[in-house]
């Protein structure tokens, strides 16, 4: 028997997830059935959407039940196989969640080539976050040469890719991030044309200075006060792909102050705006192959750069996840659960 250390949902969070909302267990895994593989987790991806799945509120996907293993994308090593398509030693992309080992159907895995790119990138720039940026920007945002693209949470894995893809397509990229260091990284490391600190008391004025010709595409990751400031700078026919609203994920009450929805809807009408929420998997069938080909090329030639923020050990996941929700990470947040072979 193989045992797996697992982190499970113990209670539904109220506000920021607490340690008591998670439970660490050790479970014996079942023997493999035909077509299954036993996986050893190497890397676990931490992503903002996980906070929504901890809640019972209606959303685009079913919530976790109390007692479920926390879900998440993983890079794993096959340590035992009863599937012809997978061999012991293969490194695969899976959705094994917050655990050290898992038994899954081999058809639910995708083999990775460690010689082609670091396997961790399958959870970041060459994985779901990179594809989210690619599909959301190019399919919905449709940036044109010379237009201004603004992305919130720009130092994260999605936002940083959005800005760099916009540059590849000839647009001007402006990033919004929290703190001077993140803004420096956006300009100096990722090649953004400008970066604006949303924590600055002069944020609205700084944003106006960085977008003198207005905003044609706003890639929405945050919501809240950032979105309120950006929408005042939108040009006619601007496009807003809505990817996430992380500013409100830990909220326990409605925002204070006047209802801003009527003013926003007025702008939608007056400026002929296009606002489209999306989940990346709706574009997989048509666009994922193109993404892998193009993004792999852009990473290889340096057009798109990436950072990984790696914490060590499965037990570090809850604290790292809390930090993710308030923007403490820079780049793609990963947990190294076990060393690569």
pLDDT of residue 252: 64
Per-residue pLDDT for 145 more than 70? yes
CATH 3.90.180.10 fits 3-124+307-336, yes or no: yes
pLDDT at residue 258, as a whole number: 79
Q: What is the mean pLDDT of residues 155-163?
A: 96
For residue 112, pLDDT over 70 is answered with yes
pTM for this one? 0.91
Q: Where are the alpha helices (DSSP H) in the chain?
A: 49-53, 128-135, 157-168, 180-188, 203-210, 224-231, 261-270, 284-301, 317-325
Convert the pLDDT of each residue in 13-67 to its tens digit. 999 999 999 999 999 999 999 999 999 999 999 999 999 999 988 888 889 999 9
Q: Is 70 exceeded by the pLDDT of residue 166?
A: yes
- Give tens-digit pLDDT for 247-258: 777 776 777 777
pLDDT mean over 262-270 = 93
Q: What beta strand segments (E) does 138-199 contain? A: 148-151, 172-177, 194-197
* Cβ burial, residue 29 (10 Å; 0-12/13-18/19+): middle
What ranges do the domains of the chain cover? 3-124+307-336, 128-281
Between 3.30.70.260, 3.20.20.100, 3.40.50.720, 3.40.50.450, what CATH number should domain 128-281 receive? 3.40.50.720
Residue 70 CB neighbours (<10 A): 23
- For residue 2, the model assigns a pLDDT of 93
Distance CA 274, CA 252 (A): 29
Residues in the chain: 341
In this prediction, residue 341 carries a pLDDT of: 79
Average pLDDT, the chain: 95
């Amino acid at each position: 028997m193989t045992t797996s250390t697992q982190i499970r949902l113990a209670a539904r969070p109220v506000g920021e997830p607490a340690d008591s909302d998670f439970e660490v267990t050790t479970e014996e895994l079942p023997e493999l059935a035909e077509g299954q593989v036993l996986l050893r987790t190497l890397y676990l991806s931490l992503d903002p959407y996980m906070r929504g799945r901890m809640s019972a509120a209606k959303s685009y996907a079913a919530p976790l039940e109390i007692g479920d293993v926390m879900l998440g994308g993983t890079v794993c090593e096959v340590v035992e196989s009863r599937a012809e398509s997978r061999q012991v030693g293969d490194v695969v992309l899976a959705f094994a969640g917050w655990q050290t080992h898992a038994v899954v159907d081999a058809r639910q895995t995708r083999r990775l080539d460690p010689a082609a790119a670091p396997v961790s990138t399958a959870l970041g720039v060459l994985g779901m976050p990179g594809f989210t940026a690619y599909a959301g920007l190019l399919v919905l945002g449709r940036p044109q040469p010379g237009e201004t693209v603004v992305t919130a949470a720009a130092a994260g894995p999605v936002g940083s890719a959005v800005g760099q893809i916009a540059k590849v397509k000839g647009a001007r990229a402006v990033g919004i991030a929290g703190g001077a260091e993140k803004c420096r990284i956006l300009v100096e490391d990722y090649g953004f044309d400008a970066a604006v600190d949303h924590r600055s008391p002069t944020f609205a004025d700084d944003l106006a200075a960085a977008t003198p010709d207005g905003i044609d595409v706003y890639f929405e990751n945050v919501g809240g006060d950032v979105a309120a400031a950006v929408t005042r700078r939108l040009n006619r026919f601007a496009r807003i792909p809505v990817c996430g609203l992380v500013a409100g994920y830990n909220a326990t009450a409605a925002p204070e102050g006047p209802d801003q929805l009527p003013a926003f809807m007025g702008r939608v009408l007056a400026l002929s705006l296009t606002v489209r929420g999306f989940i990346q998997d709706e574009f997989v069938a048509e666009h994922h192959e193109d993404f892998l080909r193009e993004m792999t090329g852009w990473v290889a030639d340096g057009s798109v750069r990436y950072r990984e923020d790696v914490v060590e050990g499965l037990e570090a996941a809850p604290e790292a996840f809390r930090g993710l929700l308030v923007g403490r990470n820079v780049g793609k947040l990963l947990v190294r659960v076990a060393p690569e072979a």
